[in-house]
Amino acid sequence: MTTETFDLSTLEIIGYASTLATPTLPRVLHPVFRVRGADLVLFPPYTLQGTEVWKAHQGDQAEFEEFLAKEKLTRLDPPLPAKPHHDLWVSPEGVVAYAPKAEVKKTFEKLYAEHLSLAETKLAAKDFEAAARHAAVARSVDPGKLDPLIIRGVTEFKLADQSYYEFTRELAGKIVKPAEFDQLVRERVGGAGINGVAVEVMSVEVPLSQILSTESAITYVSSRGAIVMRQMAIRPTRFPSPAAAAA
């Protein structure tokens, strides 16, 4: 990393610090810059402020090619001239574009509204997989909103395969206290379990038709759009039957 500054007018974008799945979650990408007419490449992390880039990791084209081979980067061909007040971003369909920040903001606001509405519609129809996918898109373009995470939490209660409720709860912890998030999800889920059996994740009772009692390290992009890399422990909790409770 260096404190040397570079004006955007002297730079071009030759790639970005991501590899994209198809479909993908829409988001702003981190460009990789090259100084025009020189074998000098600027890698993230860096500070991009106004018309200048500084505090970048400096390398060369050979290092860029090494990162490509390791699938740490994606090439943009042809390169794009760098511009101030622009964002490099990717659509849900995997189309990469470079546009003014104000335009990207409006696009993200539209995507948020559309996919939150679709998530609510699919949730009401009990299409939980689709509801979670649309909620993931909404959350990706506006991580500060709570509603997409609540919908994801509800779907993770309802889906009976593997639960990632704890992961969603952790994300929501940046917005509300965990207990508040738990209560908001419970209000939308309703019910008290399936056949008197539930799964306890942290302090939350997550009803499942199948009990998972193993620990596993998971790294993948799920069909519901969740990017997961964590250690999960799911502990079965059995509730007394009505007859036992009465006794």
Q: For the segment 32-41, what is each residue's pLDDT rounded down to a tens digit?
A: 999 999 999 9
**The pLDDT of residue 247 is above 70:** no
> How do residues 81-125 score in pLDDT, each as one tens digit?
999 999 999 999 999 999 999 999 999 999 999 999 999 999 999
Task: Please write the tens of the pLDDT for every residue from 38-70.
Answer: 999 999 999 999 899 999 999 999 999 999 999
Q: pLDDT tens-digit profile of 187-202? A: 998 743 322 333 333 3
- Starting at the edge strand found earlier in the chain, the sheet holding 27-28 runs 27-28, 86-90, 96-100
Give the C-alpha distances (Å, rounded to integers) separating 92 from 24, 61, 95.
Answer: 5, 30, 7
Statement: residue 203 has pLDDT above 90: no
- Per DSSP, the three-state class of 244 is helix
